Amino acid sequence: MITFLTLFLGLFTGTQTVELAVEPPVERVELLLDGERVGYDTHAPFRFQVDFGADPTPHRLTAVGLDAEGEEVARATRDLNLIPRAVGVEVALERAADGQPEAALLSWHSVDHSPPERLVFWLDGETLTEVDGFDAIPERVPLPALDLDDIHFVTAELYFPSGQVARAERVFGGELGREIDTDNTAVAVEVEGRRRLRRTEQAEGLVLVDGRPARVLAVEHGPAEVVIVRERSSRREMAMLTADMQIELFNPLIYGDWADDRLFFIGPAPRKLITAGARQALYPMSPAFPGARGNLIHWLVNEGYDPEAFSLQELPGAVAMAGMLAVTAARPRAVLLTIGPEAPPVEPGEGERVRRFLERLGVPLEIWYVQRDVSDLTRDERVAERRRRVEAVAAGEPPPPGRHENLERARRGWGEPVEDIGVVGDLTDATRALRDRIARQRILWIDGDHLPTEVSLAPGAPARLAGGAD
């Protein structure tokens, strides 16, 4: 037996310590990073220094246990810079004597042993059943008669009290001649029109894994997950921009229809810990906030989630963590970063590294700089602003940076594009544009378990990987 003692909870870059525990008959350990040997040891303690690179990237770390003769007797694998869910669900099929699926059988788990409170179950992309209540969630979902000459897919989503969502899929029928379980990979792509790429046959030959065509099992589109990193001063600015229009924040005609989407917040400040010699920064994650209870702007303004409110903000790490969360959703997704005039500076290049990380994950990143334009300030606020500048000059200090200077600083740190949000119209336009971009995403399910870095699209494909440059 071989076990990782290092807990891979945060973002791993640079050289880190990886420690393992082994039991007989394991006598030697070979450590592989993305299939390449990075360590080998023949005695305890099995502790390795591993270089994960300067830029954050999804990795797969594999420890192979060998016996005295050099034969493999144990193996353990961990994915790094990807977040595992604390809850899970599995789907199996109950078949009649003639092989016809009669029902889907559900089993689930959660780390805190809490039962799910809601189930949504789809058949071939259409909702088959929805059930609410701890005591009402079935372990068996009856299926209608199906033509097994065609490929079918069932999807189960379970919602837990913690806000976590577990999702599982099973594909069967057609030329597959077998069932395919959750060892599939969800690939998010963006198309030019909302009605394009909606059927599995339209995606044939579209996805490559290590340069070779992958089998596309299903195409999905629909509700999305948006993960938000909100710098503290940006919330104040958005609250001032929308102070006179709170009731309108629920209007889908103005802001886009978010009713079926889920929104999460990642706290802008981390909790620091060291585990088995590895330094990690953990950013807290909120429960899911339903779009049905308020528009994106409603939650940005009114939800105060910030568990480490008295700690320093570290925005690049928070955005990277948000990307790791978004990619686990197997849904259309995006990360939104909002920054305001008091945002901590980001060194040139640091923001670009985070952008590249989200591109590798296939997660679009939107950045909004929010500071009210001078035309939106009250008379008293304009007077106070002029007074601060006069006082700074009289004291021989540089005057506080103006709005344009703050925006340019944000763009130097994060690169382009950074949306300029100065008046309410900018905020509503950016919100609608984000919802429209998410609506163009499709989730292509391909056979096999693959890292995002192994997946690409065929040349000339009528789509692009979500999160890629325009």
**Domain at 96, CATH number:** 2.60.40.10
Nearest by Cα to 442 from 380, 328, 370, 362? 362
Nearest by Cα to 334 from 412, 430, 194, 237? 430
Q: Is residue 419, in this structure, part of any structural domain at all?
A: yes
Residue 253 is predicted with a pLDDT of 46
Per-residue pLDDT of the chain (470 residues; tens, 9 = 90+): 688 877 676 778 888 889 888 888 899 999 999 989 999 999 888 999 999 988 888 899 999 999 999 999 988 888 888 765 567 787 878 888 887 889 998 888 775 667 899 999 999 888 999 999 988 899 899 999 988 888 888 889 898 887 777 887 777 776 544 444 446 788 999 998 766 888 888 888 999 999 999 989 888 887 899 999 999 999 999 998 888 765 555 555 445 567 788 899 999 998 876 655 556 777 888 888 888 777 888 899 999 999 989 999 999 999 998 998 888 777 899 999 999 999 999 988 899 999 999 999 999 999 999 998 877 777 777 777 777 776 767 777 777 788 899 999 999 999 989 999 998 889 989 998 998 899 999 999 898 888 888 999 999 888 999 987 55
Based on the domain organization, do 64 and 115 belong to the same domain?
A: no
Based on the domain organization, do 333 and 233 belong to the same domain?
A: yes
Give the whole-angstrom CA distance, residue 7 versus residue 273: 11
**With the C-alpha atoms ordered 273, 274, 276, 282, is the resulting torsion angle positive or negative?**
positive
Based on the domain organization, do 68 and 138 belong to the same domain?
A: no
For residue 240, the SS3 value is: helix
Residue 340 is predicted with a pLDDT of 96
Q: Is residue 207, in this structure, part of any structural domain at all?
A: no
Based on the domain organization, do 104 and 33 belong to the same domain?
A: no
Tokens encoding 80 = 């790094």
Q: Is residue 105, in this structure, part of any structural domain at all?
A: yes
Give the Cα-Cα-Cα angle 318, 114, 302 (nearest 5 degrees): 40
Domain harbouring 330, CATH code = 3.40.50
Query: Which structural domain range is residue 264 located in?
Result: 225-439
Burial class (CB in 10 A: 0-12, 13-18, 19+), 390: exposed
Based on the domain organization, do 372 and 432 belong to the same domain?
A: yes
Query: Of 182, 198, 217, which one is at a domain's C-terminal end?
Result: 182
Q: Is residue 123, in this structure, part of any structural domain at all?
A: yes
Give the whole-angstrom CA distance, residue 167 versus residue 158: 6
Based on the domain organization, do 155 and 281 belong to the same domain?
A: no
Based on the domain organization, do 391 and 409 belong to the same domain?
A: yes
Based on the domain organization, do 247 and 332 belong to the same domain?
A: yes
Based on the domain organization, do 64 and 104 belong to the same domain?
A: no
Q: Is residue 245, in this structure, part of any structural domain at all?
A: yes
Query: Of 80, 105, 131, which one is at a domain's C-terminal end?
Result: 80
Q: How many Cα atoms are found within 13 Å in the side-chain-facing hemisphere of 233?
A: 14
Give the whole-angstrom CA distance, residue 26 versus residue 48: 17
Collect all residues with Cβ–Cβ distance below 8 Å to 70 and sequence separation of at least 6: 28
Q: Is residue 58, in this structure, part of any structural domain at all?
A: yes
Tokens encoding 81 = 């810079």
Based on the domain organization, do 379 and 430 belong to the same domain?
A: yes
Q: Is residue 126, in this structure, part of any structural domain at all?
A: yes
Give the whole-angstrom CA distance, residue 353 versus residue 93: 44
Strand order in the sheet with 289-290: 289-290, 262-266, 225-230, 333-339, 365-370, 419-421
Give the chain's end-to-end CA distance (angstroms, integer): 47
Helical ranges in 188-261 per DSSP H: 232-241, 252-255
Give the whole-angstrom CA distance, residue 122 versus residue 87: 19
The total number of structural domains that make up the chain: 3
**What is this structure's pTM?**
0.75
Based on the domain organization, do 232 and 346 belong to the same domain?
A: yes
Residue 178 is predicted with a pLDDT of 45
Give the Cα-Cα-Cα angle 438, 444, 445 (nearest 5 degrees): 135
What letter would DSSP give residue 180?
Answer: B
Contact of 140 with 156, CB cutoff 8 Å: no
* Strand pairing class (15-22; 46-51): antiparallel
Q: Is residue 277, in this structure, part of any structural domain at all?
A: yes
Residue 289 is predicted with a pLDDT of 87
Helix (H) or strand (E) holding 318: helix 315-327
Residue 220 is predicted with a pLDDT of 84
- φ and ψ at 111, to 5 degrees? -65, -25
Contact of 361 with 323, CB cutoff 8 Å: yes
Query: Of 80, 108, 131, which one is at a domain's C-terminal end?
Result: 80
Residues in the chain: 470
Based on the domain organization, do 146 and 240 belong to the same domain?
A: no
Tokens encoding 448 = 């096999």
Would you call the peptide bond into 398 cis, given omega within 30 degrees of 0 as the criterion? Answer: no
